[in-house]
Amino acid sequence: MQSDEPEDEVGAAGTSVDASRGQRRNGAATIYDVAERAGVAPSTVSRALSKPGRISAATEAKIRAAAEELNFRFNPMARALHTGRTQTIALVLADITNPVVFGIIRGAEKAASAEGYTLIIAESQESGDVEAAAVSRILPSVDGLVLATSRLASDRIRDIAVEKPVVLINRAVDDVAAILPNVSQGVTALLDHLDELGHRSLAYLSGPQVSWMSERRWENLLEGAESRGMGLVEIGPNVPTIEGGRAALRRVLAARVTAAVAFNDLIAIGLMKAAAESDVDVPNRLSVTGFDDIFGSELVVPALTTVRSELELAGQRAVEHLLAGLAGRTPEATDALSAELVIRMSTAAPAEPAVVG
Amino acid sequence: MQSDEPEDEVGAAGTSVDASRGQRRNGAATIYDVAERAGVAPSTVSRALSKPGRISAATEAKIRAAAEELNFRFNPMARALHTGRTQTIALVLADITNPVVFGIIRGAEKAASAEGYTLIIAESQESGDVEAAAVSRILPSVDGLVLATSRLASDRIRDIAVEKPVVLINRAVDDVAAILPNVSQGVTALLDHLDELGHRSLAYLSGPQVSWMSERRWENLLEGAESRGMGLVEIGPNVPTIEGGRAALRRVLAARVTAAVAFNDLIAIGLMKAAAESDVDVPNRLSVTGFDDIFGSELVVPALTTVRSELELAGQRAVEHLLAGLAGRTPEATDALSAELVIRMSTAAPAEPAVVG
DNA sequence: AGGGTTATGGCAACCGGTTGACATGGTCTT
DNA sequence: AAGACCATGTCAACCGGTTGCCATAACCCT
């Protein structure tokens, strides 16, 4: 039964003890408030606002008007409780301060908000333990997750994938979806370039031991170097930061190579900084290259020759893939992202003929 | 009354039709499962796990053991529904790809996860409308928000602050908490440095019109320039990116100043890039300075002289302040963050005596 | 006009915790 | 030994939506 209270004055009337249902402590209106104002049942409000067509146009209009007046918003938690869908996905990163992730974040954020999803960002600070803790903390409140540059063991990743949908970036694990760059394409272009310049002996400055991508790059380099008859040594593992690259100079010089291929741009930049301080001429005495083409790589002098990854696209694709799966659509096949060699000033022909042992 | 069923075999017994309460569709255990396994009421489980001391040590141990075995996690949504607390805060940024925000993100993330809070990141892409939309979308699911470099109108910010606690970074609005750098300290150091080198006429390359911080820097520069008898012109507004800085070179040269103070490092770097392409000698013909000391500022050549902001600390303080308020503690007074001048290679004495009109 | 079909909206149970009120049993006090 | 008090654990209502099921009303057909 409908009461005859002047509903326009609930505000004034509500100044009494509790004004039950009229105006809640939190200030936010609920479907019950809307239902009362529109003179229908709460369930009808729920349907009118989220099941288009289920309710007659006239009633729906009345409900929408009431919702509008009350500035009603669905409570995402209440909705999630029953449906199990939080409309939220997580992006887990090894290191937020590494410029490689900017593109990934931006791409992911765009793709997520385009579908009305909210993005949560968690950082593992290059530690598998921290990453595991972060993941288990946010797992219950997300619908799925994107693991970029994960430092987790493959088994652990599979465990997570059992609980919630997972998409990996720059990492491959059996039975888990992944967005990967075309490593061999990039490495081939890089080796062709170095070969053409006349380099015969290279060093690879590897990344963290747990980095899947560092391993892949090494494998491709090894294969390519062999087939071209080039010498190749691995120097590492290195911390994937400017400091890490800086610390590697001595070993690079000791290796007597004419070119150094760094696992990523940060290491390459650090190496160049250290070289400059030690009066080692880059690129003439030593050519240096990186991977990723991060912000800063074209700023540094000499500007860095590097293999560009489509990071923003990777973030976007990862989220789209995840969301497609969540929506029940079968995600389109994930072809590898193209890797393009960007030739700048940090590579040149070696000054003297390579010393062949 | 306690039943005598062999509780150790619920798993086997649970293989029947639905195993109601035994194992849920989602795979996650609930307090009901834990309660059953531990032989207590659900409410006791809730208290044991979240109200330390409320339950006897013996019972609590039993419950914790059961929870452990079932790999129980609280459902954050269910909890939030009743308590109204989501244990989540939002960080809203104008532009994720701007390196200034790295430090803020990292500091905020650290402070948040230290207290068990989850951080949501939203990007406004330098647009007030996008920012407003993002904020209203995430508002119901967060306990509070940090607005860094907000492009929102002051009134709108106040509106938001009424609904949820808000802490601002690099922006001041009446009655809203804010973490601010000590602008006058930084500007004073900068002007002292330029004055000492012999510069008599400066240009300020301002940022976006809606940037509160750009305005503040300008005011402080104006005041300091006046008291030192230096000439000062404003050139702008400029888009706060490298491109934006690049585009400003012509006007800077036309202004015939010996030093350019850019709103931020990105603009400064862009200006230097354009100068290098036009064979304008930095720092001898033109000194350039920035603000923030972002990643890349010491990489660029010449390395940029800039006013460093404690960005990571800003992010951390903002979150701590917010969390203190949420916990009912009165947040400690927010003293301004110190701003330190970092002198590098982009500033020098002007080549010829300053032209005084 | 009668019987059948469909569109519409209400009822109530449920999602998974939280918490005030209260029953119970044990300990302490005098 | 009796009463007061405290510690412990249970009951049940509630947070705000969602959804299966059903009652009702409206419309259709012959």
Question: Does B318 lie in the same domain as B174?
Answer: yes
* Rounded Cα gap, residues B257 and A344, in angstroms: 33
State both tokens at B303: 């390395």
| φ, ψ at B88 (rounded to 5°) | -135, 140
Q: Is residue B205 part of a domain?
A: yes
Residue A24 sits in a domain whose CATH number is: 1.10.260.40
CA dihedral B283, B288, B291, B293 (to 10 degrees): -30
In a domain, B342, yes or no: no
**Shared domain check, B303 and B188:** yes
Does B129 reach chain A within 8 Å, measured CB to CB? no
Question: Do A95 and A155 lie in a common domain?
Answer: yes
Say if residue B69 is in the same domain as residue B139.
no
Q: Can you tell me the distance from the alpha carbon of B206 to that of B271, in angstroms, rounded to the nearest whole number?
A: 13
- Whether B218 maps to a domain, the answer reads yes
Does A195 fall in a domain?
yes
- How many CA within 13 A on the CB side of residue B139? 22
Domain stop point among A61, A84, A107: A84
Q: Which domain-ending residue is among B84, B109, B124?
A: B84
What is the nearest nucleotide to A58, using C1' and CA?
C8
Question: Within this chain, do residues B63 and B91 fall inside the same structural domain, yes or no?
Answer: no
d(CA B291, CA B297): 10
Q: Which of B70, B79, B88, B121 to probe the A interface (max A CBs under 10 A)?
A: B121
Statement to judge: residues A169 and A237 lie in one domain:
no
Same domain, B143 and B235: no
- Cβ-Cβ contacts under 8 Å between A and B: the total is 118
| Per-residue tens of pLDDT for chain A, all 357 residues | 333 333 333 333 333 333 333 344 456 899 999 999 999 999 999 999 998 888 999 999 999 999 999 999 999 999 999 998 999 999 999 888 888 888 899 999 999 989 989 999 888 877 889 899 889 889 999 999 999 988 899 999 999 999 899 999 999 999 999 999 999 999 999 999 999 999 999 999 999 998 999 999 999 999 999 999 999 999 989 999 999 999 999 999 999 999 999 999 999 999 999 999 999 999 999 999 999 999 999 999 999 999 999 999 999 999 999 999 998 887 777 778 999 999 999 999 998 654 444
Question: Rounded to whole angstroms, what are the CA distances from A347 to A282, A302, B268?
Answer: 8, 9, 27
A2 CB-to-strand D distance under 7 Å: no
Cα angle for residues A295, A301, A306 (degrees, 5° grid): 50
In window 44-103 of A, residues with CB < 7 A from nucleic chain C are: 44, 47, 53, 55-56, 58-60, 78, 81-82
The CATH number that applies at residue A208 is 3.40.50.2300
Q: Tell whether B336 is within 8 A of chain A (Cβ).
A: no
> Is A349 within a domain?
no
Same domain for B111 and B170 = yes
Q: Residue A80 CA to nucleotide D21 C1', Å?
A: 23
CB contact under 8 A, B121 and A120: yes
| Whether B222 and B166 share a structural domain | no
Does residue B233 fall inside a structural domain? yes
Please state the separation of Cα B138 from the chain's center in Å.
16
Whole-angstrom Cα distance, residue B250 to residue A110? 35
- For residue B73, give the chain A residue with the closest CA: A140
What are the beta bridge partners of residue A215? Answer: none
Q: Is residue B114 located within the same domain as residue B157?
A: yes
| A80 CA to C9 C1' distance (Å) | 24
Q: Which domain holds residue A212?
A: 183-309
For residue B86, give the 3-state DSSP assignment: coil
**Separation of alpha carbons A99 and A297, rounded Å:** 10
Round to whole Å and give the CA distance between A229 and A238: 26
Number of domains in chain A: 3
Q: Is position B155 within any domain?
A: yes
Query: Is B344 contained in some domain?
Result: no
In this structure, the answer to whether residues B75 and B106 fall within a common structural domain is no
B303 and B197 co-located in one domain: yes
